């Protein structure tokens, strides 16, 4: 019996204001529609939390600036989390399954034991997770590259397409953020974020 394929059907508009129709070739991965709470819904006369934060004067002390940055990080994290939840719902996969797909797509085929160690779960738990994803047609078991007696897991074309769809959702949120800035400010923001990333990744 062939494994069930991830469903690709036409669908309506996204529940998120910054996520348009993202699917390539008009294809969409959809499961049962589930309402996604909007953490930055307009309040106080229709103005969003983000707009009200942006209108505040620049904090004076280092502590105040750190607290304000923390609020912005919380706001952006909530927005990206909404997108994660929405796409996980459409693909009918859990957040852990989505993370497993990313790992296999980035690092290539892996054995179940290695994946279990990566995610900190027993092999039995990871095996059940993989079984469900294989039934959905998102991953498949293949002979090992180095040891043909071993069995590795790899992402299927349907799984790779699901990841591309998910990436488009995150990119749409990023485009919505950049749309509020001039091109000059966009370049300045990216330059600053690169400096932060390099500092975090450095020794």
Q: What is the CATH number of the domain that holds 127?
A: 1.10.10.10
**Low-confidence winner among 15-29, 96-110, 127-141, 187-201 (lowest mean pLDDT):** 15-29
Asked whether residue 185 is domain-assigned, the answer is yes
Asked whether residue 82 is domain-assigned, the answer is yes
pLDDT of 158 above 60 = yes
Half-sphere exposure of 125 (CA within 13 A, CB side): 12
Q: Name the pLDDT band for 14 (thresholds 50, 70, 90).
A: very low
Q: How far is CA 102 from the centre of its chain?
A: 9
pLDDT of 9 above 80 = no
Q: Name the pLDDT band for 202 (thresholds 50, 70, 90).
A: confident
Residue 54, burial from CB neighbour count under 10 angstroms (0-12, 13-18, 19+): exposed
Please tell me the total count of domains within the chain: 1
Domain span holding position 106: 66-201
């Amino acid at each position: 019996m062939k494994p069930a394929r991830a469903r690709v059907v036409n669908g309506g508009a996204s529940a998120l204001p910054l996520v348009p129709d993202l699917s390539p070739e008009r294809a969409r991965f959809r499961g049962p529609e589930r309402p996604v709470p909007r953490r930055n819904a307009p309040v106080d006369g229709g103005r969003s939390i983000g707009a009200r934060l942006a209108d505040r004067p620049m904090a004076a002390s280092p502590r105040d600036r750190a607290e304000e940055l923390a609020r912005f990080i919380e706001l952006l994290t909530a927005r990206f989390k909404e997108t994660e939840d929405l796409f996980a719902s459409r693909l009918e996969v859990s957040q852990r399954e989505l993370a497993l797909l990313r790992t296999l797509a980035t690092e290539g085929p892996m054995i179940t034991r290695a994946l279990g160690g990566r995610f900190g779960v027993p092999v039995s738990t990871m095996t059940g997770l993989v079984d469900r994803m294989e039934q959905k047609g998102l991953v498949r078991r293949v002979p090992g590259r180095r040891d043909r007696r071993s069995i590795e897991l790899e992402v299927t074309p349907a799984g790779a397409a699901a990841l591309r769809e998910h990436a488009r959702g995150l990119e749409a949120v990023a485009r919505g953020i950049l749309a509020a800035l001039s091109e000059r400010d966009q370049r300045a923001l990216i330059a600053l974020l690169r400096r932060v990333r390099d500092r975090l990744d450095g020794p």
